[in-house]
Amino acid sequence: PLEKGKPVPDNFFPELFALFSQLHSRGIAYVDTNKPQNILLGDDNRPHLIDFQISWDHGPAFLLRRLQREDLYHLRKHHRRLRPDQLTPAQLAEYKKVGLWVRIHRTLTYPYFKIRRALFSKLRKRGHLLDSGSD
């Protein structure tokens, strides 16, 4: 799986974007690109996808397009984090842009995650939760 600090070959992200271009041209949104664990670097040094459970290929066209844009947003995020050396300054600036729905989501969920982290920290210190977290 993709991991920060784990090198990926130069052709990995161009091939991954081409793979998503094929999926999208067939009317499919993968939907789960936010999880780098679902994108694998194969023994052949090529990208592979797993876990299509929540993929989308039906419903209103506007929703499919929205989900496909989210696919690309998360791919750009992974590209920026794992291979920033492949991006121009203009691409880096573009890749850092965050859409309205992401900003709303972050605003609404930030308090929850802050409280959750503090609670888990206390539970770990008291021995009620393993150091590995909530896994």
CA dist 108 and 44 (Å) reads 41
The answer for residues whose C-beta is within 8 angstroms of residue 89's C-beta and 6 or more apart is none
| pLDDT value of residue 94 | 86
Q: What is the pLDDT of residue 30?
A: 97
Q: Which residues of 96-105 are buried (b: 16+ CB within 10 A; e: fewer)?
A: eeeeeeeeee
The pTM of the whole model exceeds 0.85: no
Q: What is the model's pLDDT at position 4?
A: 86
pLDDT at 135: 47
How many angstroms separate the CA atoms of 15 and 9, rounded? 10
**Per-residue pLDDT of the chain in tens (135 residues, 90 and over written 9):** 998 888 999 999 999 999 999 999 999 999 999 999 999 999 999 999 999 999 999 889 999 999 999 999 999 999 999 999 999 999 988 888 887 878 898 899 999 999 999 999 999 999 888 876 444
